[in-house]
Chain A
Amino acid sequence: MIEVKEEILADNIKVASDVRERLRNSKTMLLNLMSSPGSGKTSLILQTIAKLKNSVRLGVIEADIESKVDAEKVAAHGIPAIQLRTGGFCHLDATMVTQGIDALPVKDLDLVIIENVGNLVCPAEFDTGAHKNVMILSVPEGDDKPLKYPLMFSICDVLLVNKMDYLPLSDFDMPAMRKRVLGLNPNIVIIEVSCKTGAGIENWTSWLAKEVDSFKQFK
């Protein structure tokens, strides 16, 4: 019998902490955005760019399998965007993120947003090196998702509940969903938004602007 006592994902954890350290030095906050496919990651990024592009220098790393178009949409706003070729992979790891960081002018950026692969399972297991993890749950997906994907909800700093404009038409139980999420992760910030109507986006972007600001102050 040989004692091994090693983290299985030790390599990834090491690369992720290198990414965090490197971006800490260039004062660039890295945000990992995760959700199921179709819950509004790209729309949220576009709304965020529209609100913050004059005050925050932004960059985007696109990894969503179906989102070749996304990097172009983002780049159309004059925001540096890198499309990673994940080859159908189910998640991003820190090595892939490093490739994205290498290709972006991070010294001149305050914030880089990673659009992770649309998936609530795998991305939760792999540290990308992000300083903040944010997820979107859209109303049509249902209020039971925290029970089905508890790991994802337990690792995020912010939960954005998107497509709030659908709420009156659905049986989504907001208090039950909140209770489930807070039971797993009492420190998570929950913000209700609609990328379609723009409702609540201001709450999200002001949270984000404040975080970017305190990240820059941090010595």
Chain B
Amino acid sequence: MHELPVTESILKIVLKHAQMNNVQHVVAIHLQVGKLSDLEDEWIQRYFDYLSKGTLAEGAKLKIERMPIMMQCNACSKAFETDAAKLNDLVCPNCGGKESTFLSGREYFIKNMEVQ
């Protein structure tokens, strides 16, 4: 629902880096977004297409890498990956422990961009 302000931030950061590097045209932007985020890929792209008209980044493709939800077992300390549907019954695949602590999965990060 909040794709618009997020997309504005993406564009602003991308244009800043494009200017710093004397880029002619931004072709693609690689994002890392945690699986716990509700961002819709399609809407980010649509907003981006709209906002980037007439800029160096017009037409750039957003490539979104979804970062896994990682938990750490409270018993054996091993980290393991899960998904939102399994949060109900988290079981450590290593020791079978049922208590774990959230590690990561809410990233909002611009990794790099392809340019010409």
Contact = CB atoms under 8 A, between A and B. Distances in A.
Interface of A: 1-12, 90-91, 93, 119, 121-122, 125-126, 146-147, 150-151, 154, 180, 182-186
A1 B112 contact: yes
Interface residues of B, number: 37
A6 B109 contact: yes
Nearest to B10: A8
Given A9-B108, A184-B102, A4 B17 contact: yes
A93 B112 contact: no
B87 A183 contact: yes
A186 B71 CA distance: 12
A150 B9 contact: no
A189 to B, nearest CB: 16
A5 B14 CA distance: 11
Interface string B1-19: 1100110011011100110
Contacts of A6: 13, 109-110
Contact of B6 (A5, A8, A147): A8
Contacts of A8: 6, 9-10, 13, 31, 108-110
Interface string B21-62: 101000001010000111000000000000000000000000
Contacts of A5: 109-112
B3 to A, nearest CB: 10
Interface of chain A, main secondary structure: mixed
A150 B111 CA distance: 25
Interface of B: 1-2, 5-6, 9-10, 12-14, 17-18, 21, 23, 29, 31, 36-38, 74, 84-85, 87-88, 90, 99-102, 106, 108-115
A122 B4 CA distance: 11
27 contacts: A1-B113, A1-B115, A2-B18, A2-B21, A3-B111, A4-B17, A7-B110, A8-B13, A8-B108, A8-B109, A9-B6, A90-B1, A91-B2, A125-B6, A125-B37, A125-B38, A147-B87, A147-B88, A150-B36, A150-B84, A151-B36, A151-B106, A154-B102, A154-B106, A183-B100, A184-B102, A186-B99
A186 B37 CA distance: 20
A150 B5 CA distance: 21
A93 B18 CA distance: 26
A5 B107 CA distance: 12
Nearest to B106: A151
Given A10-B13, A151-B37, A90 B110 contact: no
Q: When A and B form their complex, which 10 residue pairs have the shortest distance between CB atoms, in order from nearest?
A: A122-B2, A8-B108, A4-B110, A90-B1, A151-B36, A3-B112, A122-B1, A183-B90, A8-B9, A6-B110
